[in-house]
Amino acid sequence: MEKAAYDNEKLKRIVSKRIALFRKKPETARYQPRVSSRHVYGLYTETSVRKHTVKADYPEPAGGTDQAPNPIELLLAALAACIEGALYEFAVHEGLRIDSISIEIEGELDLRGLFMVDDTVPAGFSGIRYSLKIESPEEEEKVRTLAERVIAHCPVVDSLIRPVNINGEISITGTEGNTDS
């Protein structure tokens, strides 16, 4: 989509309406995103998100075919996209002009956790660093304050720093050739 073709006024109306509605009727703010994923082959998977397909794979040295980012890279991509999108959305809402936003994010991982080599080593990130670059003709302090507020309220950031309950069920069905029964 061309940058000039984007309708900032429409976005501003949407954000304003949502904020007003959520203040008046907090129950309407409940959102339950859902995805459905399937293993395709090797380490390659495809996940359906609304009408989109998100592909994941691993690089060849890790046993994949390098057809797509790996899941932990997608987590970093989700973090970057959440910060950039929310920053732009709220800059428009608050009437601040933003000419460009870019972010570099790097995570640190000890693969001994993933490979179950050492149970004292977490399987996930031990740290994540970002470098957010914003071009704006607005007063620097206003833009910085907004960026800090957005990062503090980004649902991906919040989901990474706050303990989140994860629960589910595992269902196993027999397949042809299974001799364990």
Q: Are 105 and 80 in contact (CB under 8 A)?
A: yes
Domain 71-161 has CATH 3.20.20.60: no
Query: Which tens digits make up the pLDDT trace of 12-39?
Result: 999 999 999 999 999 999 999 999 999 9
Q: How many CB atoms lie within 10 A of CB 22?
A: 13
Q: Is this model's pTM higher than 0.85 or not? A: yes
Q: DSSP letters along 15-33, please? A: HHHHHHHHHH-GGGG----
Q: How many CB atoms lie within 10 A of CB 12?
A: 15
Measured distance CA(80)–CA(73) in Å, rounded: 11
pLDDT of residue 48 exceeding 80: yes
Structural domain boundaries of the chain? 33-68, 71-161
